């Protein structure tokens, strides 16, 4: 008899976005004629940059003849992409990385979910609250989160509230923790940390021997000068931080799948006996065992993001979403809503009308305005009373969504 991993039984019934999809499908059954506008899951709507399309077409042609065909590639990613990543995303900001510190993958979600495999199940951990659900759910799966309390919190997880009261800047944990997940620009609140604010976290990690998993999937949306693009802009971060990036939101790769993780050689964790072990060779070993590399075609597409043309096209697409975010933010504020984020990120964090819960606001927007948003409480207890809107819709949908909310409000 095979025994199951019982930690899976502790998970909430569905992953947040599957839960929302179920509710939306139920609505569609009873309202087949309604035209829904979806500003829920952060999925992009603009097509891939032409430079990526061209590069992928060329790569497909290479696959068509024996002389240029590519079978299994390096599990860590092809040098052509790793070198482009290092040059454009890091060296340009004065950060030196060696190629063996960058691991190309099929996206940031897999890496954020899998990275915890390198660590013992009984490490203590902290998350900002609200938070991208993958950080918590993947830790529940390996038993690191403890048990769920009536307050909706897991017993072994320190929740660091990010609320309007603290301007969405989390306090350092009250008790020392082994592992912290940070996501900046933040999903779901769309807020950021300045250099000085992020430095506090790196200093904490250095002083307390804490590992930071830094998710920078929304880095391309940063507009303000004092917001770090990489945690390695902070001195000492290479000793304590793993950084995860994605081409999904930067270049429209949500359906193509490509991201990467930086595991600096200096980052270590300890054995029970206190011996320090570098995480880089462990992650390499993990990837070689469980992952056969991102497809050649995809990596050629990702490489093209860094070409001069690709950079121009990506900037145009990001500007399109940023403009959506700006007009939605201004529109909602004019209607009297309290709105956060949307300046350095594609997400708006919107306070529900007084006394309304996240799910109530979600249901009313769904049934009365035919709009899909994401209930803030789905991201954690401190998300109660908020919903998240994405700016990844088409211009027309974002404009009409504001009109529908205006009429509804």
Least separation in angstroms between CB 68 and ligand MLT: 33
Contacts of 92 (CB under 8 A, 6+ apart): none
Per-residue contact track with ligand MLT, 3 to 22, x per CB under 6 A? --------------------
**3-class secondary-structure state, position 374:** strand
- CA 304 → CA 105, 160, 259, 301, distances in Å? 16, 38, 14, 5
Q: How many helices (H) and strands (E) does the chain have?
A: 13, 15
- CA 97 → CA 82, 153, 405, distances in Å? 10, 37, 47
**Residue closer to ligand MLT, measured from CB, 42 or 228:** 42
Contact 158, 171 (CB under 8 A): no
Give, as ranges, the residues between 175 and 194 that touch ligand MLT (CB under 6 A): 187
Least separation in angstroms between CB 271 and ligand MLT: 33
Contact 17, 351 (CB under 8 A): no
Which residue of the chain is nearest ligand MLT when measured via CB?
42
Residue with tokens 């529109």: 331
**Residue closer to ligand MLT, measured from CB, 190 or 264:** 190
Helices (H), 31-158: 50-63, 79-85, 108-114, 133-141
Give, as ranges, the residues between 205 and 224 that touch ligand MLT (CB under 6 A): none
**Residue closer to ligand MLT, measured from CB, 116 or 264:** 116
Q: Does 24 contact ligand MLT by CB under 6 A?
A: no
Structure-token pair, residue 293: 């590399």
Contact 273, 228 (CB under 8 A): no
Structure-token pair, residue 71: 């079978």
**Residue closer to ligand MLT, measured from CB, 296 or 349:** 349
Least separation in angstroms between CB 187 and ligand MLT: 5
Least separation in angstroms between CB 41 and ligand MLT: 4
Contacts of 86 (CB under 8 A, 6+ apart): 97, 99, 102
Per-residue contact track with ligand MLT, 30 to 59, x per CB under 6 A? -----------xxx----------------
Least separation in angstroms between CB 340 and ligand MLT: 16
Least separation in angstroms between CB 42 and ligand MLT: 3
Contact 191, 341 (CB under 8 A): yes
Least separation in angstroms between CB 353 and ligand MLT: 23
Could you give the count of Cα atoms lying within 13 Å of 9 in the half-sphere of its Cβ?
A: 4
**Residue closer to ligand MLT, measured from CB, 42 or 385:** 42
Give, as ranges, the residues between 221 and 250 that touch ligand MLT (CB under 6 A): none
Give, as ranges, the residues between 282 and 341 that touch ligand MLT (CB under 6 A): none
Task: Report the DSSP beta bridge partners of residue 129.
Answer: 161
**Residue closer to ligand MLT, measured from CB, 177 or 182:** 182
Contact 180, 129 (CB under 8 A): no
Q: Quick one: which of 109, 144, 329, 370 contacts ligand MLT (CB under 6 A)?
A: 109
**Cβ atoms within 10 Å, residue 91:** 13
Structure-token pair, residue 405: 């909310």
**Residue closer to ligand MLT, measured from CB, 156 or 246:** 246
Least separation in angstroms between CB 133 and ligand MLT: 8
Least separation in angstroms between CB 347 and ligand MLT: 8
Q: Quick one: which of 30, 186, 360 has its CA closest to 194? A: 186
The count of chain residues that interact with ligand MLT, using the rule CB under 6 A, is 6
Give, as ranges, the residues between 121 and 180 that touch ligand MLT (CB under 6 A): 132
**Residue closer to ligand MLT, measured from CB, 40 or 385:** 40
Contact 182, 213 (CB under 8 A): yes
User: What is the binding site for ligand MLT (CB under 6 A)?
Assistant: 41-43, 109, 132, 187
């Amino acid at each position: 008899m095979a025994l199951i991993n019982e930690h899976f039984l502790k998970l909430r019934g569905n992953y947040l976005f599957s839960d929302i999809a179920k509710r939306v499908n139920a609505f569609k059954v009873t309202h087949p004629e309604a035209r829904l506008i979806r500003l829920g899951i952060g999925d992009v709507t603009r097509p891939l940059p032409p430079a990526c399309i061209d590069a992928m077409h060329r790569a497909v042609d290479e696959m068509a003849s024996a002389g240029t065909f590519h079978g299994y590639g390096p599990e860590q990613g092809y040098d052509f992409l790793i070198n482009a990543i290092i040059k454009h995303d890091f060296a340009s900001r004065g950060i030196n990385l060696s190629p063996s510190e960058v691991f190309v993958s099929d996206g940031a979600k897999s890496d954020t979910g899998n990275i915890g495999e390198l660590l013992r199940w009984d490490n203590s951990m902290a998350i900002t609250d609200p938070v991208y659900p993958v950080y918590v759910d993947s830790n529940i799966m390996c038993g690191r989160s403890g048990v769920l309390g009536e307050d909706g919190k897991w017993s072994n997880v320190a929740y660091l509230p990010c609320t309007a009261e603290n301007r969405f800047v989390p306090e350092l944990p009250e008790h020392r923790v082994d592992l912290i997940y940070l996501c900046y620009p933040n999903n779901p609140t769309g807020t950021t940390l300045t250099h000085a604010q992020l430095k506090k976290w790196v200093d904490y990690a250095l002083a307390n021997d804490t590992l930071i998993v830094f998710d920078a999937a929304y880095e391309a949306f940063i507009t303000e000068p004092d917001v770090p693009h990489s945690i390695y802009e902070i001195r000492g971060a290479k000793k304590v931080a793993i950084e995860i990036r994605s081409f999904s939101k930067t270049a429209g790769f949500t359906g193509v799948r490509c991201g990467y993780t930086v595991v600096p050689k200096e980052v270590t964790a300890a054995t029970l006996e206190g011996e320090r072990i570098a995480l880089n060779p462990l992650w390499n070993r993990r990837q070689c065992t469980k992952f056969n590399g991102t497809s050649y075609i995809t990596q050629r597409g990702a490489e093209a993001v860094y070409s001069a043309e690709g950079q121009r096209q990506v900037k145009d697409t990001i500007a399109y979403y940023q403009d959506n975010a700006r007009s939605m933010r201004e529109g909602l504020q004019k209607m009297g809503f309290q709105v956060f984020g949307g300046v350095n990120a594609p997400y708006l964090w919107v306070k529900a009308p007084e006394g309304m819960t996240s799910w109530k606001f979600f249901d009313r927007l769904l049934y009365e305005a035919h709009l899909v948003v994401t209930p803030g409480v789905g991201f954690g207890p401190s998300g109660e009373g908020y919903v998240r809107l994405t700016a990844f819709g088409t211009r027309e949908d974002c404009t009409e969504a504001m009109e529908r909310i205006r009429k509804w409000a």
